[in-house]
């Protein structure tokens, strides 16, 4: 369990990092929290010739409110998300999900940006980002571009992020006061990836569901947005029957891979169950029942 | 006469038997000053890393070392061809078979050792491993033991073709290792033929791994000038290792020093002798430098010492009232590619025949067939006495299944079949002599503690609402303390154990043992025994183990044998010293030894107050003023060959609730009553029980060494191999009764493994009990959410309402 | 690969050494700086036996590069006792029988050391959550929870429980 | 770890062209993303290399390729490849059967059946990705093959196809992107004749 040899670079600015990335090309990898990349390197699945450590770029850390949205530096750690009063108040879905990621030590290193950019469907933030309708700021040699979370995740370990780009910031529109939210995650034990998990963000107008976003973790090669389920619930007053239909619609788009957590059948059913639970919880938090 | 208060105070000062004194080991561990094998740092140490097979079954066409040898810092690359001239490419196993040290022409399991790279450090060694080029020709892999004896099954052990014997009796097929039968077959069949009721159930104790937090490893250091070999090793049995190394290397045992330093948990994983050890030793002898080999966790889970993999079919014959009349068991044992299970040599299925359990069963018959498959070798006792977990699992499941069939309460059926207290010593149908026990009292106590009747009522209510609640009972009998040398040996060495005590002139003492602690606090427990036996404070009694150059020969620690065997040796050695001390005291007090009474820490002249000599005073005299003709000094050695095993027992109840939508089980309550006879340190005993129950929980609820159809491992890292954290682990309630062993000098029986052996069936009985009203008789372990959900889903219990 | 010169504070003392970029912090601590208290249990950041305190946070040093500690502050179990006085946690683990084989103990101590600063008055369940990145195969955790609570109380009321 | 897959690819080109390409083993092999023939050993045996990349993970397999059969009547080709990754920790075998079916009016269909088996470290830890990866391999094979056949023809479609061939990635990683492009291109061509 020893990584191969590589050169180490610790830039102090994003520009510097991008320069390195462009000049070193394919053989360079970005090091964020390292808890996905370093184990892969120790197993010699990943053998980058160069590591570009983003941990010394202070600009990439921090959580702030700007206009109607929350801006989160890509190198902000999971524990910083959990501790953030701003998020707890304005965007509680994130800390709720972050609390369910790995364990305390890993959450001290693991970053929201790394979790997203890695493109692993087992990571929790991608679904949370889809449900939050987040926008990602990608910076490359040609400058910045904004990409919506919905459309960022293309395939297994394959995202919209170009080889010479860095995910620098995550922007999340602040949900209106009184919105409901929930991240329901089933795992084998503390610290494990999700067997299935669902993120829900929901607004009520009186009794009717004004808006709902539903996204699934580890149910397919990428995180999934359950749009048909959303459409089914939008504009209706939610009850168990409707929630059940929505869960069925969510299950219909699942394409999970079998592993020690369970076979496809189990994972699809669990995606359905986590969807039920997340909708119910979000509904009650929004003051519905 | 001493006042009670005064003598009680003196007794407390000793901190001897029965005292929950703090552990003598702890100060070094809490300050990071433990000394584990990987902490050993000898000047000029090289590091060994192993090249392993990606295939479960393949022929090796070629091995090319050139690139690896060309890497700066690589000193050597060893393959089977390099070991052949030394006749070390194969090694004998504890089970009479042989095991490849480095793969000889073919590999028989995934991750099998193919070559070893010796380099300046672990980084270069790892790079070297990647550069060794091995060309394989894959062969079909045999993964399912049920197919091992098929006519067209691939032959795994070509080295055994034509041999009708592999060290443990006649072979019936190229992939067959042994058949072991015990009991009265004809008699048993007859009872079954005429029985009012019979039940039959297939069940599996799946392949698991002990997974101690410290992996296996060693540092071998050969001194070319002196011709001495020193080996620091993660071994639960250093003396046996020295004997094996001597046999393998041809070096006299007197030139070999094996040292087990602090060990980071064993649980059976550190009993065997592994190829990594052998290659490190060879490399050190060849290169004349210290060589360190330390497993990675993945290597540990993949190659060294799995446990279980017992595919069992149990049958009970009984009358309408649930009185058991006969037991019949057929077992298919998957031993992997080499038969290197760690059992007493004469016992191919260990002590499995203790499977009549706590019940008075008139007649029984057991048959075990061992087979080869393309999986790692091993078959160790994972926190249990040899194959006792499997045995207890079988009988505790079967009696539940019988109760279910007859609709008798699962506690009631146990009371109807228990061996009664007055029947001890009890001779079982399969020839074991249980020393002592009181089973009904234990179960009653537990049932009252948890309000068993109330729980069953609650379960009734929940079932009406479609909720799943399980109540598991396990009333087990363990067999530990191997063992009487007439029955038990390892490679011909009887399974005695030893203790040597020296009392110093100023009244402190050192004791050296043949056992080896892997966390059980021997330094504390043995000191407490000596404290009580000699009247010296345990604080000033130093206990040492694990260095074959200083400790007397012993068979080591596994199968809960330390207290039953090593503890008995300690008591007897101390008593030899006390006998000599009595003579010295008599000499000093100018009376006859018979005129003296022993009281706590001194000899007193009968009826003459004030006329007394403390052990401290006697110790001083032993070095300057002894009776004429007596040799000076105050020491003794004992090699204790136990007359019988000891039979600890317990009664456990587990209550759990199952989520019918996810299959998750939540343990609400686990109440464990253990009877290990005389209790030496209650604090340490409770700690052992917490640990054993937690490992039982892990095995029952999640642990599995899984393979795909081609023999690829699917759970060989801590990502997929279940080790519970503090969050999943249930909160344990413990209790005890005391039924001393009549044949042990202290009445102690051994305890560390009972909670594991009894815990696993208790959990699985609870999960099965949750479904028993639906006609389900057997849900296999591990009871992961996924596995439990499959049953729920088949029964349609997860329907949305 | 060219070795890099790194320096950091280890248990209050300045240390410096030459490392390959790929060298893991745990190996540098154990093998170059001979602080063998921290252990390696799984190498995949699951077991926590290698837990040390880096810049005021608990990290698993098997998944941190030594070069990442450059200029930082590292505390290991060897630095826990202060001028001959055991830390209340060390006392707690001994008093409550919170260890057996001792292999996970340094990691447990270092994690709980930081945990009690994050949460000085935890409930038992909070202790279990806070320690969920550290595996123990021997104790079943009950006495570890007691040990952490022992220390929590002792830290609250210095000079004894 | 074994994965069996079957896929159909409709090709807007005559079956004869497709069959012609199918017999050119070097070309066929190179339709495998990241694959190349490095040496021909005899009429039916070749040495080759496959480079794979999946996110941060990458591996290079060196091995041998054997043409099991070439059946002109059936227009069917069967090949078997096996290789070991450069660290020796993983090994893989792949059976690939490709068959050309004439669908009339100058169009045809390629039917690919692949049977990939992986052993060693990759099977231990990459298992959950195997399905999707072999999906991608076969898919990419079909798409590359298709564009190569079409490039044999003339006109805009052929030129675009030729361009696609030129762009064919040297590794497995970028393939998803390329095939998205190809997909769009085919859709425009056949109104969504989903490959």
Does the pLDDT value for residue B736 go beyond 50? yes
Give yes or no: residues C97 and C63 share one domain. no
Give yes or no: residues C146 and C96 share one domain. yes
Does the pLDDT value for residue A276 go beyond 50? yes
D55/A158 CB distance under 8 A: yes
Give yes or no: residues B122 and B230 share one domain. yes
What are the chain A neighbours of D125 within 8 Å (beta carbons)?
A: 43, 45
Give yes or no: residues C72 and C14 share one domain. yes
B520 is catalytic: no
Does the pLDDT value for residue C46 go beyond 50? yes
SS3 of B554-598: CCCCCCCCHHHHHHHHHHHHHHHHHHHHHHHHHHHHCCCHHHEEE
The Cα of C155 is separated from the nearest Cα of chain B by a number of Å equal to: 18
Span B379-402, average pLDDT: 96
Residue in D56, D87, D121 nearest the CB of A37: D56
**Is residue B278, in this structure, part of any structural domain at all?**
yes
Give the least confident one: A18-27, A122-131, B607-616, D184-193.
D184-193
User: Measured between alpha carbons, how far is B379 from B203 in angstroms, rounded to an integer?
Assistant: 18
What are the chain A neighbours of B800 within 8 Å (beta carbons)?
A: 240, 244, 276
DSSP lists the bridge partners of residue A28 as A50
Give yes or no: residues C28 and C61 share one domain. yes
| CATH number of the CATH domain containing C68 | 3.10.20.30
Maximum alpha-carbon separation in chain D: 49
Residue among B99, B112, B168, B236 flagged as catalytic: B236
Among residues B577, B607, B640, the one where a domain terminates is B640
**Is residue A288, in this structure, part of any structural domain at all?**
no
Give yes or no: residues C75 and C121 share one domain. no
The ranges assigned to domains in chain D are 2-190
Within 10 angstroms of residue C13's Cβ, the number of other Cβ atoms is: 8
Give yes or no: residues B322 and B348 share one domain. yes
D128/A155 CB distance under 8 A: no
Residue whose token pair is 């190659």:
B303
What are the chain B neighbours of A192 within 8 Å (beta carbons)?
A: 719
Number of domains in chain B: 3
Please report the pLDDT score of residue D173 as a whole number: 45
Phi, psi torsion values for A192, nearest 5 degrees: -80, 160
**Is residue B383, in this structure, part of any structural domain at all?**
yes
Give yes or no: residues C46 and C110 share one domain. no
Among residues B287, B303, B319, the one where a domain terminates is B303
Please report the pLDDT score of residue A289 as a whole number: 64
User: Measured between alpha carbons, how far is D153 from B332 in angstroms, rounded to an integer?
Assistant: 64
D125/B130 CB distance under 8 A: no
B710/D123 CB distance under 8 A: yes
- Residue of chain D nearest B715, judged by CA positions: D124
Does the pLDDT value for residue A26 go beyond 90? no
Domain residues for C98? Answer: 88-156
Domain residues for A264? Answer: 182-283
Number of domains in chain C: 2
**Is residue B26, in this structure, part of any structural domain at all?**
yes
pLDDT band of residue B94 (cuts 50, 70, 90) is: confident
pLDDT band of residue B343 (cuts 50, 70, 90) is: confident
Give yes or no: residues B680 and B584 share one domain. no
Reported as a single tens digit per residue, the pLDDT across B224-256 is 999 999 999 999 999 999 999 999 889 999 999
Residue in A40, A257, A259 nearest the CB of D57: A40
Give yes or no: residues B476 and B576 share one domain. no
Give yes or no: residues A277 and A196 share one domain. yes
B713/D124 CB distance under 8 A: yes
Which of the other chains make 3 or more beta carbon contacts under 8 angstroms with chain A?
A: B, C, D
What are the chain A neighbours of C48 within 8 Å (beta carbons)?
A: 103, 105
Q: CA angle at residue B745 from B743 to B749, to 5 degrees?
A: 65
**Is residue B210, in this structure, part of any structural domain at all?**
no
| CATH number of the CATH domain containing A41 | 3.30.43.10
**Is residue B205, in this structure, part of any structural domain at all?**
no
For chains A and D, CB pairs below 8 A equal: 53
Give yes or no: residues B334 and B418 share one domain. yes
Residue in B54, B129, B717 nearest the CB of D90: B54
Number of domains in chain A: 3
**Is residue C149, in this structure, part of any structural domain at all?**
yes
Give yes or no: residues C61 and C18 share one domain. yes
How many CA within 13 A on the CB side of residue A73? 18
Give yes or no: residues A202 and A154 share one domain. no
**Is residue B150, in this structure, part of any structural domain at all?**
no
**Is residue A289, in this structure, part of any structural domain at all?**
no
**Is residue B82, in this structure, part of any structural domain at all?**
yes
Give yes or no: residues C113 and C92 share one domain. yes
Does the pLDDT value for residue B690 go beyond 90? yes
Region class of D155: left (phi > 0), else alpha (psi between -120 and 50), else beta: left
SS3 of chain C: CCCEEEEEEECCEEEEEEECCCCEHHHHHHHHCCCCCCCCCCCCCCCCCCEEEECCEEEEHHHCEHHHHCCCEEECHHHCCECCECCHHHHHHHHCCCCCCCCCHHHHHHHHHHHHHHCCCCCHHHHHHHCCCCCCCCCCCHHHHHHHHHHHHHHHCCCCC
> Is B661 an 8 Å CB contact of chain A?
yes
Structure letter (DSSP) for residue A205: E
- Residue of chain A nearest B294, judged by CA positions: A1
Please report the pLDDT score of residue C161 as a whole number: 42
Give yes or no: residues C148 and C98 share one domain. yes
C22/A53 CB distance under 8 A: no
> Is B246 an 8 Å CB contact of chain A?
no
Q: CA angle at residue A275 from A273 to A278, to 5 degrees?
A: 110
CB burial string B25-60: b at 16+ within 10 A, e below = bbeebbbbbbebbbbbeeeebbbbbbbbbbbbbbeb
What are the chain C neighbours of A102 within 8 Å (beta carbons)?
A: 133
B236 is catalytic: yes
What are the chain A neighbours of D55 within 8 Å (beta carbons)?
A: 118-120, 156-158
**Is residue A57, in this structure, part of any structural domain at all?**
no
Residue whose token pair is 């039924």:
B739
Give the least confident one: B202-211, C84-93, D103-112.
D103-112
pLDDT band of residue D171 (cuts 50, 70, 90) is: low
Give yes or no: residues A66 and A161 share one domain. yes
Please report the pLDDT score of residue D73 as a whole number: 93
B753 is catalytic: yes
User: Measured between alpha carbons, how far is C144 from C147 in angstroms, rounded to an integer?
Assistant: 5
A45/D125 CB distance under 8 A: yes
| CATH number of the CATH domain containing B667 | 3.30.365.10
Give yes or no: residues B558 and B422 share one domain. no
> Is B717 an 8 Å CB contact of chain D?
yes
Please report the pLDDT score of residue D187 as a whole number: 37
**Is residue C116, in this structure, part of any structural domain at all?**
yes
pTM of this prediction? Answer: 0.96
The Cα of C103 is separated from the nearest Cα of chain A by a number of Å equal to: 18
Domain residues for B70? Answer: 41-139+215-263+271-303
| CATH number of the CATH domain containing C96 | 1.10.150.120
- Residue of chain A nearest D129, judged by CA positions: A257
pLDDT band of residue B190 (cuts 50, 70, 90) is: very high
Does the pLDDT value for residue D176 go beyond 50? no
**Is residue C115, in this structure, part of any structural domain at all?**
yes
Listed by number, the residues of chain B in 290-349 with a beta carbon closer than 8 Å to a beta carbon of chain D are 298
Interface probe for A, chosen from C41, C45, C135 (most Cβ of A below 10 Å), is C45
User: Measured between alpha carbons, how far is A19 from B758 in angstroms, rounded to an integer?
Assistant: 63
What are the chain C neighbours of A1 within 8 Å (beta carbons)?
A: 43-44
pLDDT band of residue C108 (cuts 50, 70, 90) is: very high
B535 burial type by CB count under 10 A (0-12 exposed, 13-18 middle, 19+ buried): buried
Give yes or no: residues A46 and A125 share one domain. no
Does the pLDDT value for residue D129 go beyond 90? no
Residue in D2, D119, D127 nearest the CB of B54: D119
> Is B296 an 8 Å CB contact of chain A?
yes
- Residue of chain B nearest C39, judged by CA positions: B214
**Is residue B290, in this structure, part of any structural domain at all?**
yes
Of A209, A208, A130, A224, whose CA–CA distance to A173 is shortest? Answer: A130
What are the chain D neighbours of A40 within 8 Å (beta carbons)?
A: 56-57
- Residue of chain D nearest B708, judged by CA positions: D1
Reported as a single tens digit per residue, the pLDDT across A161-210 is 999 999 999 999 999 999 999 999 999 999 999 999 999 999 999 999 99
- Residue of chain C nearest B215, judged by CA positions: C41
The Cα of A76 is separated from the nearest Cα of chain C by a number of Å equal to: 14
Please report the pLDDT score of residue B191 as a whole number: 98
Of the options 3.30.530.20, 2.40.50.140, 3.40.50.280, 1.10.10.10, the CATH number for the domain spanning D2-190: 3.30.530.20
Does the pLDDT value for residue D174 go beyond 70? no
- Residue of chain A nearest D177, judged by CA positions: A154
Does the pLDDT value for residue D33 go beyond 90? no
Please report the pLDDT score of residue D190 as a whole number: 38
C132/A191 CB distance under 8 A: yes
CB burial string B765-795: b at 16+ within 10 A, e below = bbbbbbbbeeebbebebbbbbbbbbbbbbee
Which of the other chains make 3 or more beta carbon contacts under 8 angstroms with chain C?
A: A, B
Reported as a single tens digit per residue, the pLDDT across B265-303 is 999 999 999 999 999 999 999 999 999 999 999 999 999
Give yes or no: residues B686 and B633 share one domain. no
Interface probe for B, chosen from C11, C82, C94, C100 (most Cβ of B below 10 Å), is C100
A39/C68 CB distance under 8 A: no
What are the chain D neighbours of B296 within 8 Å (beta carbons)?
A: none
Give yes or no: residues A164 and A237 share one domain. no
Give the least confident one: B57-66, B605-614, D20-29.
D20-29
């Amino acid at each position: 369990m020893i990584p191969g040899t590589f050169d180490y670079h610790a830039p102090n600015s994003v520009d510097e990092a991008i320069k390195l990335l462009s000049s070193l090309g394919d053989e360079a990898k970005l090091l964020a929290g390292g808890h996905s990349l370093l184990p892969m390197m120790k197993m010699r699945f990943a053998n980058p010739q160069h590591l570009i450590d983003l941990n010394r770029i202070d600009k990439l850390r921090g959580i702030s409110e700007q206009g109607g949205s929350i801006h989160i530096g890509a190198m902000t750690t999971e524990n910083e998300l959990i501790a953030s009063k701003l998020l707890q108040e304005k965007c509680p879905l994130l800390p709720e999900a972050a609390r369910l990621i790995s364990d305390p030590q890993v959450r001290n290193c693991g970053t929201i940006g790394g979790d997203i950019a890695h493109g692993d469907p087992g990571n929790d933030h991608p679904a949370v980002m889809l449900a939050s309708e987040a926008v990602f700021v990608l910076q490359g040699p040609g400058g910045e571009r904004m990409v919506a979370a919905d459309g960022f995740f293309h395939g297994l370990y394959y995202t919209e992020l170009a080889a010479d780009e860095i995910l620098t910031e995550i922007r999340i529109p602040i949900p209106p006061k009184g919105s409901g939210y929930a991240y329901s995650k089933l795992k084998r034990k503390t610290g494990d990836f999700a067997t299935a998990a669902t993120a829900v963000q929901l607004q009520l107008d009186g009794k009717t569901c004004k808006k709902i976003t539903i996204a699934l973790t580890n149910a397919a090669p990428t995180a999934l947005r359950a749009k048909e389920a959303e459409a089914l619930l939008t504009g209706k007053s939610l009850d168990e029957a409707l929630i059940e239909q929505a869960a069925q619609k969510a299950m219909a788009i699942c394409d999970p891979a079998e592993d020690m957590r369970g076979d496809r059948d189990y994972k699809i059913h669990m995606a359905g169950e986590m969807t039920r639970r997340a909708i119910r919880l979000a509904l009650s938090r929004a003051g519905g029942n | 006469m001493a006042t009670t208060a005064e003598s009680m105070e003196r007794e407390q000062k000793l901190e001897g038997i029965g005292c929950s004194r703090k552990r003598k080991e702890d100060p070094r561990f809490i300050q990071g000053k433990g000394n584990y094998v990987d902490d050993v740092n000898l000047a000029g140490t090289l590091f060994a890393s192993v090249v392993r097979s990606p295939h479960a079954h393949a022929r090796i066409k070629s091995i090319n070392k050139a690139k690896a040898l060309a890497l700066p810092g690589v000193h050597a690359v060893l393959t089977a061809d390099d070991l052949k001239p030394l006749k070390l490419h194969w090694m004998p196993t504890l089970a009479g078979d042989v095991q490849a040290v480095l793969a000889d022409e073919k590999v028989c399991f995934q991750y099998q050792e193919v070559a070893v790279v010796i380099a300046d450090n672990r980084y270069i060694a790892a790079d070297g491993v990647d550069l060794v080029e091995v060309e394989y020709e894959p062969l079909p892999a045999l993964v399912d033991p049920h197919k091992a004896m098929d006519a067209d099954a691939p032959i795994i052990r070509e080295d055994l073709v034509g041999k009708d014997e592999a060290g443990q009796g006649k072979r019936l097929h190229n992939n067959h290792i042994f058949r072991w039968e015990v009991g009265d077959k004809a008699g048993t069949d007859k009872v079954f033929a005429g029985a009012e009721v019979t039940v039959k159930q297939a069940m599996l104790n799946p392949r698991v791994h002990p997974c101690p937090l410290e992996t296996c490893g060693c540092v071998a250091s050969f001194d070319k000038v002196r011709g001495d070999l020193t080996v620091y090793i993660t071994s639960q049995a250093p003396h046996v290792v020295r004997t094996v190394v001597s046999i393998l290397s041809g070096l006299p045992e007197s030139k070999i020093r094996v040292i087990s330093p602090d060990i980071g948990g064993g649980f059976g994983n550190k009993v065997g002798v592994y190829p990594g050890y052998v290659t490190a030793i060879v490399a050190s002898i060849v290169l004349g430098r210290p060589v360190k080999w330390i497993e990675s966790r993945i290597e540990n889970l993949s190659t060294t010492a799995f446990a279980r993999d017992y595919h069992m079919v149990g049958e009970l014959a009984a009358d309408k009232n649930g009185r058991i009349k006969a037991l019949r068991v057929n077992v298919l044992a998957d031993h992997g590619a080499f038969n290197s299970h760690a059992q007493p040599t004469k016992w191919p299925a260990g002590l499995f025949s203790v499977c009549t359990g706590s019940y008075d069963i008139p007649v029984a018959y057991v048959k075990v067939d061992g087979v080869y498959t393309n999986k790692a070798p091993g078959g160790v006792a994972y926190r249990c006495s040899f194959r006792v977990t499997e045995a207890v699992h079988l009988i505790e499941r079967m009696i539940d299944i019988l109760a279910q069939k007859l609709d008798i309460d699962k506690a009631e059926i146990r009371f109807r079949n228990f061996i009664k207290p007055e029947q001890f010593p009890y001779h079982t149908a399969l020839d074991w002599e249980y020393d002592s026990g009181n089973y009904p009292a234990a179960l009653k106590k537990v049932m009252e503690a948890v309000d068993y009747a109330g729980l069953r009522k609650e379960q009734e209510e929940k079932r009406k609402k479609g909720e799943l609640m399980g109540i598991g009972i396990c009333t087990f009998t363990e067999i530990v303390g191997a063992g009487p040398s007439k029955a038990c040996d390892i490679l011909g060495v009887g399974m005695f154990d030893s203790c040597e005590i020296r009392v110093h002139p100023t009244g402190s003492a050192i004791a050296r043992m043949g056992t080896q602690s892997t966390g059980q606090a021997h330094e504390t427990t043995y000191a407490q025994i000596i404290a009580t036996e000699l009247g010296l404070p345990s604080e000033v009694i130093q206990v040492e183990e694990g260095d074959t150059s200083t400790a007397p020969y012993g068979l080591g620690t596994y199968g809960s044998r330390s207290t039953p065997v090593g503890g008995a040796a300690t008591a007897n050695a101390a008593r030899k010293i006390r006998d000599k001390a009595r003579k010295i005291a008599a000499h000093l007090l100018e009376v006859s030894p018979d005129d003296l009474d022993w009281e706590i820490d001194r000899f007193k002249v009968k009826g003459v107050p004030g006329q007394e000599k403390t052990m401290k005073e006697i110790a001083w005299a032993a070095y300057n003023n002894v009776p004429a003709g007596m040799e000076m000094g105050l020491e003794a050695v004992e090699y204790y060959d136990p007359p019988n095993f000891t039979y600890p027992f317990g009664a456990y109840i587990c209550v759990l609730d199952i989520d019918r939508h996810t299959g998750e089980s939540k343990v609400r309550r686990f109440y464990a009553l253990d009877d290990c006879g005389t209790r030496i340190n209650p604090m340490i005993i409770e700690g052992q029980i917490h640990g054993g129950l937690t490992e039982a929980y892990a095995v029952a609820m999640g642990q599995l060494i899984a393979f795909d159809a081609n023999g690829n491992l699917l759970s060989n890292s801590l990502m997929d191999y279940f080790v519970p954290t503090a969050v999943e682990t249930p909160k344990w309630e413990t209790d005890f009764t005391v039924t001393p062993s009549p044949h042990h000098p202290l009445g102690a029986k051994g305890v560390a493994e009972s909670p594991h052996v009894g815990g696993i069936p208790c959990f699985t009985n609870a999960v099965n009990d949750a479904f028993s009203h639906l006609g389900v008789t057997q849900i296999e372990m591990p009871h992961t959410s996924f596995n439990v959900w499959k049953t729920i889903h088949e029964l349609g219990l997860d329907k949305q309402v | 690969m060219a070795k890099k010169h790194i320096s950091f504070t280890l248990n209050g003392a300045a240390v410096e050494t030459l490392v390959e970029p790929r060298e893991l912090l745990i190996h540098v601590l154990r093998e170059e700086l001979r602080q063998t208290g921290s252990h390696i249990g799984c190498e995949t950041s699951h077991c926590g036996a290698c837990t040390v305190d880096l810049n005021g946070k608990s990290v698993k040093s098997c998944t941190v590069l030594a070069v990442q500690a450059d200029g930082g502050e590292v505390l290991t179990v060897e630095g826990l006792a202060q001028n001959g006085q055991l830390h209340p946690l060390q006392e707690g683990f001994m008093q409550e029988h919170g260890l057996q084989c001792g292999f996970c103990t340094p990691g447990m101590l270092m994690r709980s050391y930081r945990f009690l600063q994050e949460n000085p008055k935890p409930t038992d369940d909070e202790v279990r959550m806070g320690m969920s990145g550290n595996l123990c195969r021997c104790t079943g955790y009950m006495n570890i929870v007691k040990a952490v609570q022992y220390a929590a109380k002792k830290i609250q009321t210095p000079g004894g429980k | 770890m074994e994965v069996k897959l079957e896929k159909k690819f409709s090709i807007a080109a005559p079956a004869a062209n497709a069959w012609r390409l199918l017999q050119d083993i070097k070309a066929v092999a190179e339709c495998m993303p990241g694959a190349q023939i490095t040496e021909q050993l005899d009429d039916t045996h070749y040495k080759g290399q496959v480079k794979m990349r999946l996110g941060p993970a990458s591996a290079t397999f060196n091995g041998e390729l054997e043409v099991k059969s070439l059946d002109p009547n059936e227009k069917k080709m069967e090949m078997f490849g096996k290789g070991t990754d450069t660290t020796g920790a993983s090994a893989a075998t792949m059976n690939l059967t490709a068959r050309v079916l004439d669908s009339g009016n100058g169009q045809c269909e390629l039917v690919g059946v692949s049977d990939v088996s992986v052993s060693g470290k990759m099977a231990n830890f990459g298992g959950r990705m195997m399905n999707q990866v072999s999906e991608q391999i076969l898919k990419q094979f079909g798409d590359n093959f298709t564009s190569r056949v079409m490039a044999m023809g003339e006109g805009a479609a052929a030129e675009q196809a030729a361009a696609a061939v030129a762009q064919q990635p040297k590794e497995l990683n970028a393939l998803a992107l390329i095939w998205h492009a190809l997909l769009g291109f085919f859709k425009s061509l056949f109104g969504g004749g989903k490959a």
